Structure 1
Amino acid sequence: MSKLPVSLHEFAAGDESDLQVVVPWTGPAIDPATGQLREPLPESYLVATSVGWPKPGHEEIGGQLNAAILDELWKREGLLAATLAISEKSWNAARNLVLWRDKESLDGFLYSEAHLAAARRTKGLMYDWEGVNWTGTSTTELPTFAEARARLDTARASGLSAFHSPG
């Protein structure tokens, strides 16, 4: 890793050539035996993504908070599928992609007590983070982390990155 970035734009420009999927696509829409879609996705669904850059020395509490968030995620009504990835080269960037049946399902997760409590605690453990969502239209192909990164780049440039943490 090179010199620590001082802005969200610098973190977001990090080299993620080593991005590794740590949780492959899973969820109700995914066949666990193949890791592929069980059947075509709905004509319209919501894709949510976020990325964060954790500060070192908080791995234990970060792991506990992530476990609480994932526990909430896996039991939420409206979840279709999710995947998680990490890039050590990019200051341990943690990325996720989550497919939701609709905005109400996503909001139910985001505003759940478990997610809000973990998000409040996580804020001080991260250099920065950001997120965005969009309507998915491909019924046969899952979104990629490259697409998620491009969507975040566009949202950041327009000032619409939903979870951007100033600082």
Structure 2
Amino acid sequence: MTAEPLLDLASRPVPTTVEEFAACDESDLEIMVPWTGPGIDPETGALRAPLPDTYVVATSGGWPKPNAMEVATELNRVLLEELWGREGLIAATFAISQKCWMSSRALAVWEDEDALTGFLQSEGHMNAVRKTKNLAYAWEGTRWVSHSPTLPTFDEVRARLAQQRRNK
């Protein structure tokens, strides 16, 4: 982690809305956890088999407060344990942008809506959501059904979240 982006953040006023946070530059988005999970070959990082004809994509992203990093790291550990053990998960990836207020991005592919709902309603996830409300400046997420033969990208995530914000 370089000091420069963090110093730049300290000199800028903190955004006050999701729209303001989302408008920042994520050109430095760094994949912290590449695509992994039951559907990914750990040696090659490629899909083990073609994606199903229909599957669910879920994403969430947020902007953690500077003093929340230690607690957020522990919450992420608990969430990852829950995530990797969930039936119906195909794959997930995670990224961070230092320039964009340390934005944290999660992107997961699920066999179906029931599998995603099982994870979202799990005790570990619900506990993390309750705690995250006090740890983040803002948080947003969305999901969609996909028929694409390729894994979604964070560019697609940004476009879908922007569309969701416009539709509110």
How far 1:156 moved relative to its partner?
1.1
How far 1:59 moved relative to its partner?
1.1
Tell me the distance in 2 between the aligned counterparts of 1:93 and 1:37.
27
How far 1:58 moved relative to its partner?
1.4
3-state secondary structure, aligned to 2:58: strand
> Is 1:82 equivalent to 2:92 in the alignment?
yes
Match of 1:71 in 2: 81
The answer to whether the 8 Å contact 2:68/2:136 transfers is no
1:103-114 → structure 2 map (5 Å cutoff): 103-114=113-124
- Which stretches of structure 1, 4 residues or more, deviate above 2 A after TM superposition? none
Cα deviation, 1:5-26, whole Å, max 9, x if unaligned, reads 1111000111101000000000
Match of 2:160 in 1: 151
3-state secondary structure, aligned to 2:165: helix
Residue of structure 2 aligned with 1:134, choices 144, 149, 156: 144
Indicate the percent of aligned positions where both proteins have the same amino acid.
55
Structure with the higher helix share, 1 or 2: 2
How far 1:138 moved relative to its partner?
1.2
Residue of structure 1 aligned with 2:102, choices 92, 112, 115: 92
Unaligned runs of 5+ in 1: 160-167
3-state secondary structure, aligned to 2:141: strand
> Is 1:23 equivalent to 2:33 in the alignment?
yes
**TM, length-normalised to structure 1:** 0.93
How far 1:3 moved relative to its partner?
2.4
Tell me the distance in 2 between the aligned counterparts of 1:27 and 1:76.
10
Match of 2:5 in 1: none
Tell me the distance in 1 between the aligned counterparts of 2:13 and 2:45.
37
Cα deviation, 1:7-62, whole Å, max 9, x if unaligned, reads 11000111101000000000111111111111100000000011100001111111
Match of 1:165 in 2: none
Tell me the distance in 1 between the aligned counterparts of 2:133 and 2:78.
15
Match of 2:63 in 1: 53
Number of corresponding residues: 158
Match of 1:163 in 2: none
3-state secondary structure, aligned to 1:99: strand
3-state secondary structure, aligned to 2:143: strand
**TM, length-normalised to structure 2:** 0.92
Match of 1:164 in 2: none
3-state secondary structure, aligned to 1:109: helix
Match of 2:128 in 1: 118
3-state secondary structure, aligned to 2:151: coil
